[in-house]
Amino acid sequence: MTATRDDLRRRALGLEWATIGWNVGEFFVTVTLGVMARSLALVAFGLDTLVELFASVVVVWHLKGEDRPGRTRRALLLVAGAFALVAAVLTAAAIRALLVRHVAGESVPGIVYIALAAVAMLGLGVAKRRVGRGLGDEVLASEAVMSVLDGVLALSVLTGLLLNAVAGWWWADPAATLVVAAFAVNEGRESLAEARELAEAAG
């Protein structure tokens, strides 16, 4: 049975509320564990969650409104701005970690939670991308990439924590974080380009 547009919209809103709920908890858990373990990676991951919360709220606002090019363009611009802020936060944190040769303490609870976060965000991102394509909604599809990037970032943080704990490779996490920041910049540019195309089409 083919899902109707209203069904897809309800599914999209459910996924966004699930993302918001997870990210609220993720912020408090990762920042707390990061402070306890003196892990810059965990704290930065928690701060990055605030930007993703903003992007999810934008998508909820977009989905609850009427399908209008102007509303879609504003939502895309806000998501593009969120991507830019994510990239800036991650880049600053990674460069600082490299410059000061920051070595985090071992955090078993942090490793376990980040592994769960990677699975949760990758799953949510893939589901939102699928629903976004079904709706033909550029805003939802674009924000879904942010959830996927959050999952990838979680994997990079997890890798860094494990390599630091096992092999003493303190630089692994900030290096991987810079790669994720580069992907965020690219996705932000694509969202901005889509917003400009809508503006040009509107004349």
List the chain pLDDT tens, one digit each, 203 residues: 566 888 888 999 999 999 999 999 999 998 898 888 777 777 778 877 888 888 888 888 888 876 666 777 888 888 888 888 888 988 988 898 888 887 666 678 888 888 999 999 999 999 999 998 888 888 888 889 888 988 988 888 888 778 877 877 878 777 877 877 888 888 788 888 888 887 777 65
CA distance 163 to 166: 5
Three-state DSSP at 170 gives coil
What predicted TM-score, i.e. pTM, was given to this entire model? 0.79
Residue range 5-202, CATH number: 1.20.1510
Task: Give the separation between CA 102 and CA 15, rounded to whole angstroms.
Answer: 36
Which residue in 43, 10, 13, 45 sits closest to 152, CA to CA? Answer: 45
86 in Cβ contact with 109 (< 8 Å): no
* Positive or negative torsion for Cα 73, 75, 81, 87: negative
Distance separating the N- and C-terminal Cα atoms of the chain: 39
Find, among 111, 107, 143, 139, the residue nearest to 125 by Cα: 143
- Which residue ranges make up each domain of the chain? 5-202
Q: Is 65 helix (H, G, I), strand (E, B) or coil?
A: coil
Could you tell me which residues come within 8 angstroms of residue 58 by beta carbon, excluding any fewer than 6 positions away?
Answer: 75, 78, 79, 82, 139, 143
